[in-house]
A = this chain, B = another copy of it.
Amino acid sequence: MAATELTLYELTGANPELRFSPFCWRIRLALAHKRLNANCIAWRFSDKQKIAFSGQGAVPVLVDHGQSIHDSWRIAKHLEENYPSQSLFGNASASLVQFVNAWADRALVPAIAQIVILDVFNGLHEQDKAYFRASREKMLGASLEAVVEDKPTKITKLKRVLAPLRQALGEQAYLGGNAANYADYCVFGMFMWARCVSPSELLEKEDPIYTWRERLLDAFDGMARAAFTVSENQRLKVTYP
């Protein structure tokens, strides 16, 4: 099929090159895994009209031959069903991969948000900032500035949340085993979220998760490593213990 028959609407910031959504990253990687090209369209929180056709108010939205699919998990299943070569789930049950997907959503998103949420805000276009601050501060029950106070403690807490991933990567290179699959991308998307917007280093070099992340940054000809970040220079200088 022609590349132009798949269209992915992706969240972006002030700079349209900044594609930082962890959920959109999952789909970017899923498409690369299946060697599918998609026409990627930048979308901002305030661009409601742009995806009104899908009936959704958020991305990722994938349009495949005129059919629109939303929600990263549903998109992954759609791709697996409709483009079965290069399986996204390997031979694992969908429910086992979905478990990792849900763990990343429920356990990792809040733990990483405590470190990078203000950086996300700072990367946004002016037209999105008021909405983002109001909705996230309501959700978190505190100002964005208060949420990210004492980052070293938050990074220590994240390290504990990541314990199951660390243990699983102690014996094999990827959650998928010898090769990465969608379980890996579900989690790696979270690290791309942080990488794209924040100077904070979330992992210590000695952590097996760091090595795993390096491998995924290099995957698909370094696609993730080459992604635009707001703070490449700054990020290399700032680390927390």
Contacts and interface: CB of A to CB of B under 8 A. Distances in A.
A167 interface: yes
Contacts of A101: 167
A86 interface: no
Interface in A92-150: 92-103, 105-107
Interface string A154-165: 000000100111
A75 interface: no
A167 B98 contact: yes
B95 A168 contact: yes
A233 interface: no
**Within the oligomer, what is the number of copies of this chain?**
2
Interface stretch (A17-25, A61-69, A173-181): A173-181
Q: How large is the interface on A (under 10, 10 to 19, 20 to 34, 35 or more residues)?
A: 20 to 34
A94 B175 contact: no
A92 B167 CA distance: 16
A102 B208 CA distance: 15
Q: Which 9 A-B pairs have the closest CB atoms?
A: A93-B177, A91-B91, A92-B92, A102-B164, A99-B168, A102-B167, A95-B172, A103-B164, A95-B168
Given A96-B177, A106-B167, 18 more contacts: A91-B92, A92-B92, A92-B93, A94-B171, A94-B177, A95-B174, A95-B176, A96-B100, A96-B176, A98-B167, A99-B100, A99-B167, A99-B168, A99-B175, A102-B163, A103-B103, A105-B164, A106-B163
